Amino acid sequence: MMDPGTEDQYLKRRVTTGCYDVDVSNANEIWKSETVLFFYLPTLAAQVAFMLLSTRVLYYILKPLNQPRLVSEILASASSIPLLASFKAHILEFQYHASKLHAYIHDYKQKQTLDVMGILISPELFGSSALSEVLTPLKSILTTETISYVGLIYTVFLAGLDMNFDTILRGRKKATSIAIAGVLIPMLCGGIIHALALKLYKGPPEYWANFGTPKAYMFWTLTLSVTGFPMVSHILADLKLLYTGLGRVTLTTAMISDFYNWVMFAMLVPFAINGGSAIYSVLSTIVYVLFCFILIRPYLVEIIVRKTNQNEWDNNGLFIVVMGAYASAAVTDLLGTHPVVGALVYGIMIPRGKFTHLLIEKSEDFGVVYLAPLFFGSCGIRLRIIYVIKTQGLGLVLFILFLSILPKILSTVIATQFYGMSVLDGVSIGLLMNTKGLLPILMLNSAWDKQILSVESFSILTIAVLVMTMMVPLVINAIYKPRKLYKQNKLKTLQNLKAEAELRILACVHNPRQATGMINILEAYHTTKLPPLRVFALQLVELTGHTASLFVSHVNQHNPQQSVGAQALTKAQEDLESITNIFQTYAAINESNNVETIAAASSCSTIHEDIYNVSQEKQANLILLPFHKQSNIEGILETANTAFQEINRNVMRDAPCTVGIFVDRGLASLFKVNLRVVMVYVGGPDDREALAVAWRMSKHQGVQLSVVRILLFGDAAEIDVMSHVENHGLLSVIVDSEKQKELDDEYMSAFRLKAVSNEDSIKYSEKEVRSRDDIPEVLNEIDQVGYDLYILGQGGGRNCLILSELMKWTDCPELGVVGDIVASNNFGSSSSLLIIQQYGFGGMVFENSNTTQQPKEVVGSNIEDPGPVFVKVQWHQ
């Protein structure tokens, strides 16, 4: 038995008493505090500014490591808050020592005493008492925490908006099973880990017996079972895994798991906080939730849908809707449950669509960006990890951290084995499910306030939440690299694709208009003489803060609009609905073809990586991209979005397969008219690939193909040696050009022998070019026929001097010289274009909109691996 004096002495090392004065202005029966304008408001503004600055700085520092914003907020609270205000971990008691109050005196001093646990009176992490007194004085603690709960409630309200209740109820068996296993098994392991930790902690056993209660076990189990769905969705988007098979399963599993975690928080935590009366709190909360969904939600949805469809929302109306979250939070608080439960329920009640997008756009910064970091600051104030390491030892802390990471991984590996998934996928899903969010921090703070967890357990679990969230993107990026796996499949070109092999096309679009044009070009690829097409329609969406729900609903439902009622959809949802319908109609007409619609959201600067990863996931042979200009009613090409051009260029720099850019000038459907196609052949790997594309199209009974070969003579045949001589040498460039001519002649001879001689619908002709001025003349002569579609090679690997010089003057170098001329409005053509870049040869570097691009790979005798250049390989999918 521990001596009582010894136990008191042991406890004193953890409890510090702090006192401060309060000057009361204009005292009355209600107001007994200082003037807000002179102290509390400036202090709060300084705290918000400092937290915002430190959080943003840490976020941009950690951004290359794909760390979510939560990590920067916790790190900022764990470092900057103790730096400025290392004085408060937990308020044990609040006492007033009132001085004499005079009726006609405006100010008086009142002394308050706080029992403060933790590191926070004397600095632990780079503490500074001077800075603490200036920016975060002790008496501002209660005000700061109160204001922080305003941001916390709004953040949880947004989490409710992110949850798609229809997806949770209709979740697939695989995702639901993994989610259940990922919750139950970590809960069981959490109790075991806590029991082991109590045995290993250093200190009097009698002291640790105070924290071996069922309440402590419950918080350990709940904390380790949590998965933060918003964090998972952002990490998957940053790692470009959101649209892979792994990403879809993980995203749905995370949403279901996060919902289960919130339900357990609402149902179990009251028993730890309220004791015997908790049963009444839980039952009354259940009644309140049923009341909201059965009686309130139908009227709320009707009002929101009507006002949204009629565009009647103003700032006052949006303010009333937001205040509903705080009213619901107040109700659940009065019922004995945590206030955030009411905010979550209210968020789930709000119908998804255009209104939620408008609401988030108007008010997100206020709650999430400015006020929520203050809540994480309170967590950092309580943290005493340095003290725990000194008293318990670094080895014990790391051992418990390691044990805390394992349950989620083991549970998902076990669950995924029943569905035939690989161990690597199981480990990856387990790591992603280890991503924590706001909920575990909220649980730990509640346990600390009620003295349920010890300093050691609270600090270790907080660090575990941080470590698990930080390690996920780093480890996943190291062990799950689809781009590296994809590079093993070489010669992904149509030229080397067997005729009987399946053609897999990734058609990228930004809007329904582009989807319609893509359908027309896809029809030309479909023919009964060849195997069916496999089409993957990829909608490219610029990433916004809350797009995860859109993807989950699209992944799990054939008609996402049914899940949101008749309300107005967001522009992205409307486009996704229209694009899906367009491609489903195409699939219904061409029943033999397999069509799948996917949505990819990312920033415009990185969305090309999503295209790479989807093409790897689907093993595509051809990526089709829309041109950044579109034809108006007069047939003139006008810029739709300059960001589309940058996306196309980024894809072409390091494309994992052949790339085609489609310039749509109103290409007609093959269901209505025959298609007249011309392929202009100059030479080089891109032109050979373009000829392979045209050759395949020619097998369609509605396509009439004409191949025009341009023969270069005289000055036009001069080799461009200066652009590559420094890297490969003069002899290498010359030999390279001669080899390209041999390959051109060989492939063209095979085409004329096999296609032109046996097909009446294919015509072949030749045109001579002897100078730079002959090129536009020849193209004008070709255009007089009035073809519907040009198929052109981009032009990489030609090593032609006049074409290299003309490239310097092109407006759109991604189209090549010939493509840029034909696509120019000054040229006057009304034909659509398909520009082809062959995989392995056409990777390009674009310095700016009017600069010359150089081939990434130049064919030559000194290349380390000349196989893809000189060896003809028959590729079989």
Q: Does residue 859 fall inside a structural domain?
A: no
Segment 788-847, tens digit of pLDDT: 899 999 887 677 778 878 888 888 888 988 999 999 888 888 889 999 998 875 455 555
Segment 712-765, tens digit of pLDDT: 888 777 776 555 544 444 445 555 677 878 888 888 888 888 877 666 678 889
723: phi then psi, degrees, rounded to nearest 5: -75, -20
What are all long-range contacts of 143-146, with beta carbons under 8 Å and residues at least 24 apart?
143/40, 143/43, 143/44, 144/43, 144/44, 144/47, 144/374, 144/377, 144/378, 145/374, 145/375, 145/378
Query: Which residue, 124, 134, 110, 119, is CA-closest to 39?
Result: 134
Higher pLDDT, 61 or 353: 61
Place of tokens 């000055």: 715
- Rounded to whole angstroms, how far apart are CA atoms 810 and 824? 10
- Rounded to whole angstroms, how far apart are CA atoms 450 and 239? 39
Residue 667 near residue 630 (C-beta atoms within 8 A): no
Kindly give, in sequence order, each residue whose CB lies less than 8 Å from that of residue 53, ignoring residues fewer than 6 positions away: none
Kindly give, in sequence order, each residue whose CB lies less than 8 Å from that of residue 741, ignoring residues fewer than 6 positions away: 683
Kindly give, in sequence order, each residue whose CB lies less than 8 Å from that of residue 394, ignoring residues fewer than 6 positions away: none
Q: Can you name the residues that pair with 508 across neighbouring β-strands?
A: 538
Q: What pLDDT sits at residue 744? A: 83
Q: What pLDDT sits at residue 3? A: 52
Q: What is the residue range of 191's domain?
A: 139-479
Domain end, chosen from 447, 479, 511, is at 479
Kindly give, in sequence order, each residue whose CB lies less than 8 Å from that of residue 71, ignoring residues fewer than 6 positions away: 58, 62, 466, 469, 470
Q: Can you name the residues that pair with 855 across neighbouring β-strands?
A: 844
Q: Which ranges in 720-766 belong to alpha helices (H)? A: 725-728, 730-751
Q: What pLDDT sits at residue 619? A: 84
Domain end, chosen from 479, 503, 531, is at 479
The token pair at 160 is 């409710």
CATH number at residue 312: 1.20.1530.20
User: Is pLDDT above 90 for 598?
Assistant: no
* 324 Cα distance to chain centroid: 29
Segment 454-477, tens digit of pLDDT: 888 888 888 888 888 888 888 888
Structural domains counted in the chain = 2
What per-residue string of b and e applies to 643-660 under the rule 16 or more CB within 10 Å gives b? bbbbbbbbbbeebbbbbb
Q: What pLDDT sits at residue 733? A: 53
Is 432 found in the same domain as 366?
yes
Query: Which residue, 42, 6, 3, 38, is CA-closest to 22?
Result: 38
- Rounded to whole angstroms, how far apart are CA atoms 854 and 869? 17
Is 586 found in the same domain as 534?
yes
Quick one: which H or E segment has residue 623? strand 622-626
| Other Cβ atoms closer than 10 A to 587 | 18
CATH number at residue 738: 3.40.50.12370
User: Is pLDDT above 80 for 547?
Assistant: no
Is 394 found in the same domain as 505?
no
Q: Does residue 632 fall inside a structural domain?
A: yes
Mean pLDDT of 97-105: 32
CA distances from 303 to 321, 326, 350, 791 (A): 11, 19, 11, 53
Higher pLDDT, 53 or 595: 595
Q: What pLDDT sits at residue 402? A: 92
Residue 384 near residue 118 (C-beta atoms within 8 A): yes
Residue type (1 letter), 700:
H
Is 498 found in the same domain as 468?
no
Residue 370 near residue 53 (C-beta atoms within 8 A): no
Angle of CA points 79, 83, 88, to nearest 5°: 95
User: Is pLDDT above 90 for 625?
Assistant: yes
The token pair at 760 is 């009446």
Q: What pLDDT sits at residue 482? A: 52
Q: What pLDDT sits at residue 623? A: 93
The token pair at 223 is 């904390």
Strands lying side by side in the sheet with 15-25? 15-25, 107-117, 91-98
* Lowest-pLDDT choice from 389-403, 479-493, 671-685, 750-764: 479-493
- Looking at the chain, the whole-number percentage of residues with pLDDT higher than 70 is 74
Segment 294-324, tens digit of pLDDT: 999 888 888 888 888 888 888 888 888 889 9
Is 747 found in the same domain as 832?
yes
Is 377 found in the same domain as 502?
no
Higher pLDDT, 636 or 862: 636
User: Is pLDDT above 50 for 110?
Assistant: no
Segment 120-137, tens digit of pLDDT: 333 444 444 455 555 566
What per-residue string of b and e applies to 552-580 under the rule 16 or more CB within 10 Å gives b? bbbbbeeebbebbeebbbbebbbbbbbbb
Residue 119 near residue 383 (C-beta atoms within 8 A): yes
Mean pLDDT of 559-587: 67
Tell me how far apart the terminal alpha carbons of the chain are, to the nearest angstrom. 75
Is 179 found in the same domain as 250?
yes
Is 437 found in the same domain as 366?
yes
152: phi then psi, degrees, rounded to nearest 5: -65, -45
Q: Does residue 342 fall inside a structural domain?
A: yes
Q: What angle, 0 to 180 degrees and rounded to 10, lies between the N-to-C axes of helices 214-225 and 173-200?
A: 140
**Angular region, 354: left φ>0, alpha ψ -120 to 50, beta rest:** alpha
Domain end, chosen from 479, 505, 524, is at 479
Is 349 found in the same domain as 209?
yes
422: phi then psi, degrees, rounded to nearest 5: -70, 160
Is 509 found in the same domain as 442?
no
Instruction: Compute the mean pLDDT over every residue in the chain, rounded to the nearest whole number.
Output: 75
- Rounded to whole angstroms, how far apart are CA atoms 425 and 421? 6
Q: What pLDDT sits at residue 286? A: 92
Is 199 found in the same domain as 147?
yes
Q: Does residue 284 fall inside a structural domain?
A: yes
Q: Does residue 79 fall inside a structural domain?
A: no
Higher pLDDT, 541 or 736: 541
Query: Which residue, 513, 524, 482, is CA-closest to 579?
Result: 513
Local confidence band at 27 (pLDDT 50, 70, 90 cut-offs): low
Q: What pLDDT sits at residue 328? A: 93
Is 525 found in the same domain as 390?
no
Q: Does residue 33 fall inside a structural domain?
A: no
Segment 133-187, tens digit of pLDDT: 555 666 667 777 778 788 888 888 888 887 777 777 776 788 889 999 999 999 9
CA distances from 773 to 24, 453, 803, 806, 853 (A): 89, 83, 11, 11, 22
- The three-state secondary structure class of 800 is strand
Q: What pLDDT sits at residue 409? A: 92
Q: Does residue 271 fall inside a structural domain?
A: yes
Local confidence band at 563 (pLDDT 50, 70, 90 cut-offs): very low
Q: Does residue 380 fall inside a structural domain?
A: yes
Local confidence band at 271 (pLDDT 50, 70, 90 cut-offs): confident
Q: What pLDDT sits at residue 148? A: 79
- Rounded to whole angstroms, how far apart are CA atoms 868 and 866? 6
Q: What angle, 0 to 180 degrees and rounded to 10, lies between the N-to-C axes of helices 385-392 and 394-417?
A: 100
